[in-house]
Amino acid sequence: MLGGCTNLIGSIASDTLTAAILNQNDPALIESGVPAWLLLVDGLISQSPEDEDLLAVGAQIFALYGSRFETDASRMAGLTGKARDYGRRAICLAHPPACAWRGLPYDVFVGELGEVGNRDIDYLYAYSVSWLSYLDATSEDWSAVAELPWVEAALERTLELDESYEQGALHGYLGILNSLRPPALGGQPDVARAHFERAIELSGGRDLSVKVEYARRHARLVFDRELHDRLLMEVLAAPVEVPGYTLFNVLAQREARELLASSPGYF
Per-residue pLDDT reduced to its tens digit, 44-89: 898 889 999 989 989 988 998 888 888 888 999 999 999 999 999 9
What's the average model confidence in pLDDT over 131-139?
Answer: 89
Looking at domain 163-267, its CATH superfamily turns out to be: TRAP transporter T-component (1.25.40.920)
According to the model, what pLDDT value does residue 99 have?
97
Does the pLDDT value for residue 227 go beyond 60? yes
Gap between the Cα atoms of 170 and 247, Å rounded: 19
Question: Closest Cα to residue 127, out of 59, 174, 73?
Answer: 59
What pLDDT is recorded for position 23? 67
Computed from CA positions of residues 143, 147, 187, 170, in that sequence, does the dihedral angle turn out positive or negative? negative
Distance, in Å, from the CA atom of 75 to the CA atom of 91, rounded to the nearest integer, reads: 25
Q: Which residue has the higher pLDDT, 195 or 39?
A: 195
- What per-residue confidence (pLDDT) applies to 41? 85
What local confidence, expressed as pLDDT, does residue 101 receive? 97
The per-residue pLDDT for 32 is: 65
CATH class for domain 1-136? mainly alpha
Domain ranges of the chain: 1-136, 163-267
Query: Are the folds of 1-136 and 163-267 the same?
Result: yes
**Residue 88 and residue 107: Cα distance in Å, rounded?**
19
pLDDT at 19: 62
Kindly report, residue by residue over 87-112, the tens digit of the pLDDT: 999 999 999 999 999 999 999 999 99
Q: Chain-wide mean pLDDT for the chain?
A: 87
Answer whether 189's CB lies under 8 Å from 222's CB.
yes
Q: What is the 3-state secondary structure of the chain?
A: CHHHHHHHHHHHHHHHHHHHHHCCCCHHHHHHHHHHHHHHHHHHHHHCCCCHHHHHHHHHHHHHHHHHCCCCHHHHHHHHHHHHHHHHHHHHHHCHHHHHCCCCCHHHHHHHHCCCCHHHHHHHHHHHHHHHHHHHHCCCCHHHHCCHHHHHHHHHHHHHHCCCHHHHHHHHHHHHHCCCCCHHHCCCHHHHHHHHHHHHHHCCCCCHHHHHHHHHHHHCCCCCHHHHHHHHHHHHHCCCCCCCCHHHHHHHHHHHHHHHHHHHHHC
Does residue 242 or residue 23 have the better pLDDT?
242
